Every structure is written in structure tokens, then in C-alpha cells.
Amino acid sequence: MIKHHILVFLLLPFLIYSQNNSGEIHGDFNLSLQSYKDDASINAHGADEVILNNSYFNLIYTKGKFTAGLRYESYLNALADYDPEFKGNGIPYRFANYQLNELEITAGNFYEQFGSGLILRSYEEKGLGIDNAMDGIRLKYTPFSGVSLKTFIGKSRTYFTYADGIIRGLDGEVNINDFLSLENKIRFILGGSFVSRYQQRTNPQFKLPQNVSAYACRLNVIKGGWNYYGEYAYKINDPKNSLQENEMNYANGNACANSITYSKKGFGINAEMHRTDNMTFKSDRDKDGKAYLINYIPTLSKQHAYTLLALNPCATQTDGEYGVQFDIYYKINKGSFFGGKYGTKLNFNYSKINSLNNGPSFLNDNYEHTPIFISSKNEELYFKDINIEIDRKINKLIKINAILANQTYNKDVLEGHTQGDFGVINSTIAVLEISYKIKERHSIRIELQELLAEQLEHAEENEEGSWSMALVEYTISPHWFFAFQDMYNWGNEDVEKQLHYLNFNCGFIKGANRFSIGYGKKREGIFCVGGVCKLVPSSNGFSLNISSSF
């Protein structure tokens, strides 16, 4: 941590000088406190220190083409849904950036993504406890109009330290129309990426490559309301333990992603497909956990905001899956019978994720796999979601949003359980949200949700079964809000676990400052963002959150 403190002293002159100069200082602060107490009814465990804490403070100085910043973080100790390695205080994020003509230079920490992230995505997601920022040097260069180049070398952050692997990357993108000064209604954008990890060989039993490389190419075609994006990635063998003792999987990896969209006023359609096989890419070959991942395979399922719709989310299986998704958006014109006075919005969504034909490559004796780009009867279903949403404003005071969905969830695969522990769950879910403006600055929002679950396959463990949820939120704009929520697990096979999970929250907002306090119970479950998931333990206690920006 000494080098971090040295950097702080190097940045202080800039920050002090900026007070009497044209430079600007911006930042934000967040504090999250949570108390934990024992609750045997939901298997919740108290914390020895009673209250756990996550907090951070960002400070950024900008003057002209120069930018410098740092982030102080504190985990004393980290909230229970964070990895225990988040522990202590420090400045794990600090950087300086300068742009000189067409060249941009960054020293220190930075986030980067090549293409859609199939071979590289360095990013931060506070909700998941992910921060794999790179620490090193990055260059961006625009030599000609329509041409952009990026290269970097560094190490990936893991908690308050850095992984052993040295990561190197190069990315180039060419906008053909701009580069050739073409006046064409069809626009073409080509891109290519290269990423490698160097890690010293330490395993005395197996001959492991010290350099592991991955390559990707991409194409984006745009014409009017049409947009096509396709990317293919390939990773050379990155040995890891197989299912057999004293064996290593030396299979290569590959992934492809395709999407096509069309949109015009009042109508839009989106179709996506991806396939991934043995594409786990880590900053340290010998470590497990999401903190060590340096690539990203986005999920092909809708990211639901409502509680019961997101109760069983889809986790991307980077070692092998095939997925498709279709989205259709349509707005019925106002003034028509179905559109009403203000118009009605419709959204239909379908997604399905399977195993690869005969499973991922690392399950086969010869470590070979033939790509199959269509579904077959040999594939195991991981996840399926069919849902339709209707959003309509009734009048100036009332607005409703209704969703009906059917989901199939392979809990054993998606949560990493032993085959047969929980089996496959099928759920029918209905959601109704009503917003009502009581008077000027006063409004109330009500959510009613129902989940009817059916276990499709025999399982050894008792299942939670069906749920009901109700939420009432009262807002006094622009400062106050109050919310009460009850989740009731009335369908649990164990009568003693047919419990109510009650939660109350209230908050005050003034300008850029936000204060909220809450109390309640939370169930144990999986929380996902974009297909990356973590296990959230059950808890019972108070919470406090304070955030501010300037």
C-alpha cells in the first residue's frame, strides 16, 4: 500500500492548485451499513462485530486534457454478500490520464473492454462485488479518421491485491465509411482484438503454457433502422483440472455472438444468438471465483427488475452453452381502441439457453467438440423464459404495468449443485404494478406479484415452491419515500418454512445527497447482473445507506 500513499502525495499538488485555477474537482461517496442477527427460521447468522460496512470515496481532478483520480475504499468488515477477501482500508484505484493530439495515455488503474467482452472485459459492478480494474499502462491512438487503436499491459485487480498473471492486449477498429470518406447508406465497422496472459509455470506434474492467448474479430453493419453485430473469439488451451483426478483439460476455447435489430417509431425487434465452449479466461490459472475472470459472456435472458421475476436468474455457463433470445417492442397508437388516450406499449420476450450437444468440450475424452448452432434433442435445457409486458397510462393519475411470464430453471446446473439435488423448476409468474398520483408531489405505487412453481424432475432436497409478494411505496416528491414489502413463501414443502419476509425502507433525498434506512429479512438466493451471479446469504437486520456526489 506504500506506493498508493506515494501517489496520493503526488496528486495533492494538482488538487490544491486546482482551487485557484480553472481545473475542476468531482467525486462521489457511498456508505452502506448492515446489521446482522441470528434468525434460525431463515438460517441467518449474526456478525461478530454486529455491523458490517462497505464504503468508498471517488475524487477526480480535471484540467484541460489532463485527468487524475483516486478511490479510497473501506470494508470493516465487508457486507455478508461480499467475498470475505474484501477486508480493510486502502486506495486500490488511482490513475493519471493525458491526451496529446491523437494519443491518449493512462497510467495506473483503468477499465477496458474489447468488443462485447468475449476475450476482455475489465469493469466494476458494486452490486456483485466485482472490480477487476487493470493496473498498468494503456495507450489509445487515432492515427486517421475512422481508425482507433488501443493497447495495454498490466495486472488485474483481485480485492486489495493483484493476480499473478500479466495481461497484455491490443485492439483495433476501423469505420470503413469514415476511413475511405464514403457517402453510403450502409455503414461498416470492422474490429479485431488480441489478449494474452503470462504466468510463470509452477506445476511440477503438468506442462502448462506460460503464455495463453485469445483472439477475436467483429463486424458491425448499420443501415437505417437495421443493425447487425457479430463477433467470434478463440482461446488457445488454458489447462485446468478436468473431472478426472490427475488430469488436465487442454482443450481450446471458442465463442461467437450475433445480434440483429430493427427499430422505427413505435416498433422494434431484436434477435440474438451466442455459443460458448470452454471460454473461461482468468487472470490466475490456479484461482477460482468471479474476481479472477477477465472476459465476459453476456447472458441471453431478460434482466427483470421485479422481485419474483428475478427470483431464479440465469447464470452464464462460460464452459459451454448455446442461447437465443428474441425481443419485440410495439406501441399501439394513442386514440385507438387498444391504444387508449395515451397509447399502449407491448413487449414480448423469449429466451432459451441449452447445453452444447453432448456437453462442453472438457467433458469429452478426446477434448474435441463439433460446433452445433441449432438445438437438438441431446441438449440439456438450462433456462427458458417467455414473457409479455403491457404498459399503459390510463389517465393523468393512473398508470399500470402488467407482466405474465413462464420460466424453466435448471437449479442444479445454474447454481452448481450436484445433479438431482434440486432438479428443474418451472414457474408461472404474474406481476401487476399500479402507480397513482394522489395530488401534487404525492404518489403511491403498488406491486402485486405471484409465482406458482412446479418441480419438473425428482429432487432430493425440499423446494421453496410458490411465492407471493406485495409492495407499497409512497413518495413525496422530491425529498421523501417510504416502502413496505412482504414476500410470502406459502408454497414451501416444509410447513415451518412458510415464512413472511418483511422489509421496510424510507429515505430522504436533497440535491445530490441521498439517505435511506431499512429493516427486514432477506432470503438466501442467487443475485445476477448480466449473467454474472453471486450467492446472497439470508439475513435479518437494519441497513443504512448514504450517497453523495459533487
The CA distance from 489 to 287, in Å, is 37
| Kind plus residue range of the DSSP H or E element containing 14 | helix 2-18
Question: Are residues 168 and 153 in contact, defined by beta-carbon separation less than 8 angstroms?
Answer: yes
Distances (CA, A) of 187 to 148, 267, 495: 16, 22, 61
Question: Are residues 325 and 349 in contact, defined by beta-carbon separation less than 8 angstroms?
Answer: yes
- 310: Cβ–Cβ under 8 A, 6 or more apart, which residues? 303, 304, 528
Per-residue pLDDT of the chain (550 residues; tens, 9 = 90+): 445 555 554 555 555 555 556 789 999 999 999 999 999 999 999 998 889 999 999 999 999 999 999 999 999 999 999 998 999 999 999 999 999 999 999 999 999 999 999 999 999 999 899 999 999 999 999 999 999 999 999 999 999 999 999 999 999 999 999 999 998 899 999 999 999 999 998 877 778 889 999 999 999 999 999 999 999 999 998 887 554 556 777 889 999 999 999 999 999 999 999 999 999 999 998 888 899 999 999 899 999 999 999 999 999 999 999 999 999 999 999 988 888 999 999 999 999 999 986 554 444 444 444 444 454 556 899 999 999 999 999 999 999 999 999 999 999 999 888 877 788 999 999 999 999 999 999 999 999 999 999 887 666 666 789 999 999 999 999 999 999 999 999 999 889 999 999 999 999 999 999 999 999 999 999 889 888 998 899 999 999 999 999 9
The residue among 223, 221, 215 whose CA lies nearest residue 194 is 215
Identity (one letter) of the amino acid at 462?
Answer: N
Quote the strand ranges of 20-87, DSSP E. 24-35, 51-63, 66-75
- Counting DSSP H helices and E strands in the chain, the numbers are 3, 32
The CA distance from 388 to 397, in Å, is 24
Q: Is 115 exposed, middle or buried (0-12, 13-18, 19+ CB in 10 A)?
A: buried
| Kind plus residue range of the DSSP H or E element containing 527 | strand 525-529
The residue among 406, 477, 399, 493 whose CA lies nearest residue 443 is 477
The CA distance from 63 to 540, in Å, is 47
Show the cell assigned to 435.
402507480
The CA distance from 419 to 226, in Å, is 43
Identity (one letter) of the amino acid at 281?
Answer: F
Place of cell 483481485: 158
Residue 178: phi and psi, rounded to 5, are: -70, -40
3-class DSSP assignment, residue 147 = strand
The residue among 225, 249, 252 whose CA lies nearest residue 239 is 249
For residues 449, 455, 456, 459, the Cα torsion angle rounded to the nearest 10 degrees is 150
Q: pTM for the whole thing? A: 0.90
What is the pLDDT at residue 329?
97
Question: Are residues 133 and 110 in contact, defined by beta-carbon separation less than 8 angstroms?
Answer: yes
Show the cell assigned to 217.
474479430
What is the pLDDT at residue 379?
83
The CA distance from 469 to 450, in Å, is 6
The residue among 114, 91, 85 whose CA lies nearest residue 1 is 91
Question: What's the angle, vertex CA 292, arms to CA 288 and CA 298, rounded to 5?
Answer: 105
Distances (CA, A) of 548 to 246, 405, 482: 52, 37, 20
What is the pLDDT at residue 376?
53
What is the pLDDT at residue 288?
87
The residue among 427, 448, 132 whose CA lies nearest residue 290 is 132
